[in-house]
Chain A
Amino acid sequence: MPNLKDLKNRIASVQSTRKITSAMKMVAASKLRRAQEQAEAGRPYAERMGRMLASLAANVQDSGNGPKLMTGTGSDQVHLLVIISSDRGLCGAFNGAIVRESRRQILRLQSEGKTVKLLTVGRKARDQLRREFGSLIVETYEDVGRRKLSFADADVVAQKVLAMYDAGEFDVCSVIFNKFKSAISQIVTVQQLVPFAVEAQADEDAAGAEVKAIYEFEPDEEQILAELLPRNLSIQVYRALLESAASEQGARMTAMDNATRNAGDMINKLTITYNRTRQAYITKELIEIISGAEAV
C-alpha cells in the first residue's frame, strides 16, 4: 500500500510544477504578442526592398553582369547553412525540428559530395549538432535578441556571412529557421540567401503595376544593386530571426499549455489514489479495533 505521506508530497510537487508551467505559458503568450508585433512592423521595409530589388534586377539581368551576390560564384561546391534555434529549452519540438531538418540537409549535401559549413544561432542548435558535426561549425551566436531582437543583431550575422562570401569560403548560403504560422504550428523552412533568387520575388510583385514603371537610377543600377544586395541579406536574416523568435514563443506557449493540462490530470489521479488509500487505512484500523473488541 502506498505511503500516505509520499502521496501528499507528490501532489504538492506536481501542483508547484503546474504553477510554474502555467506562469511560463502566460509569459510566452505575452512575449509572443510582442514578437508578432515586431515581425509585423518589419514587414513594410522588407516589402519595399523586395519591390526595389525586383525592378533593379529586371534591369540588370538584361545586361548580364550583375554582382556576385546575385549571380553566384558559378559553382555550388561549398554550402553554408545558417541554423537558427533558441537559447532556451522547454519549447516543445521547436529545436528538435530545426536540428532534424539541419541534419537531413547536411547529410544530403555530404552524400552529394559537397562541403558543408555551419553557422549556428542559439545555444540549442550548437549543443545538439556539436557532437555529430562539431568540425563543421564555423561560428556560434548566443544570446541573440535576449531582450528585444534588434536589427543590429541580425546585421552581425549577415556581416559574417558577407565576409565569408567575399573571402570565397562558400558558394551557396541557406538559412534554416522555423517559420511562424500560428501559435500551434511552426514550419521549418529552408531559404536560400546567396546567390539571391530574385525571380521568386519578382513574380509575387508582378501583380503590382508599379513595378513596370521605368525607373531612373542614381548612381547606375549596378552600383545601387551592389549596395542593396548586402542590405537585403541583412534584412532576410533579420526576418528569419523575427520569425524564429515568434515561433519559439508560440511553441513554448503550446508546450507549456500541454504541460499545465497534464499536471492537472496527474493531480486529479493522484488525489483519487490518495483518498482511496486514506479510506483503506481507516477501514483497516476500524477492522482492527472491532476484531480486538470482539476478542475480549
Chain B
Amino acid sequence: MADKVEFELVSPEKLLTSQPVDMVVVPGSEGDFGVLAGHSPMISTVRPGVIDVYEADRVVDRVFVAGGFAEVTETRCTVLAEEAIAVAEIDRAKVEQQIRDLGEDLEDAKSDDEKARVEAKIAIARAKLDATGATTTH
C-alpha cells in the first residue's frame, strides 16, 4: 500500500481521532469522496452521513457525523464534525423515537424558521437511521 493519509476527526469539544489510515470516504454535500494520500487540497461541506475509514481495502471504522466541514491536503484529511458517533453505538430504537418526537414538534412548529430547524434535525436523525441500516447489510 502506498503512503498513508493522516485522518483527523474533531468535534468542538475535543479531538476525537487522529491516526494515519489508508483511505477515508467522506460524505461531502455534493457527493461522497474518498481521500487517499496525495489528494489535491480541497475544502468541502459535509452532509449528515457516515465516514468510512479504510485500512488495506477493508472498512475498519465507521463514524456517523451530523454535518460539518472537511479540509483535505496532500497528507491530511481533517473533518470538523458537529456531532460524531460511532455507527456501532447508534441505538436504532432511540433514533426512531427521536424521529417520532421531532415529527410531533414539526406539527407544533409555528414559524417557518422553527419548521426548517426541526426538519433539519429530522434529516439528521433519518441519516443516522440509514447509517445503522447500512451496517447490517455490510
- Per the bound structure, the CA–CA distance linking A228 and B82 in Å amounts to 12
Secondary structure type dominating chain A contacts: helix
Residues on the B chain within 8 Å of A210, using CB: 73
B80 touches A (CB below 8 Å): yes
Secondary structure type dominating chain B contacts: strand
Q: Is the beta-carbon distance between A238 and B42 smaller than 8 angstroms?
A: no
Q: Is the beta-carbon distance between A217 and B42 smaller than 8 angstroms?
A: yes
B14 touches A (CB below 8 Å): yes
Between-chain CB contacts (< 8 Å), 14 pairs? A41-B13, A42-B14, A44-B10, A44-B15, A48-B8, A48-B10, A48-B78, A215-B41, A215-B43, A216-B42, A217-B44, A218-B29, A218-B42, A231-B82
A interface residues (Cβ-Cβ under 8 A, vs B): 38, 41-42, 44-45, 48-49, 51-52, 55-56, 150-151, 154, 210, 213-219, 223-224, 227-228, 231, 234-235, 238
B135 touches A (CB below 8 Å): no
B interface residues (Cβ-Cβ under 8 A, vs A): 8, 10-15, 28-30, 40-45, 69, 71, 73, 78, 80, 82
Specify the chain A residue showing the minimal Cβ separation from B113: A163
Kindly identify which residue among B11, B15, B30, B71 contacts A52, using a CB–CB cutoff of 8 Å.
B71
Q: Is the beta-carbon distance between B80 and A49 smaller than 8 angstroms?
A: yes
Given contacts A41-B15, A42-B12, contact A223 B40 (CB under 8 A): no
Kindly identify which residue among A42, A52, A218, A228 contacts B13, using a CB–CB cutoff of 8 Å.
A42
Kindly identify which residue among B28, B41, B80 contacts A213, using a CB–CB cutoff of 8 Å.
B41
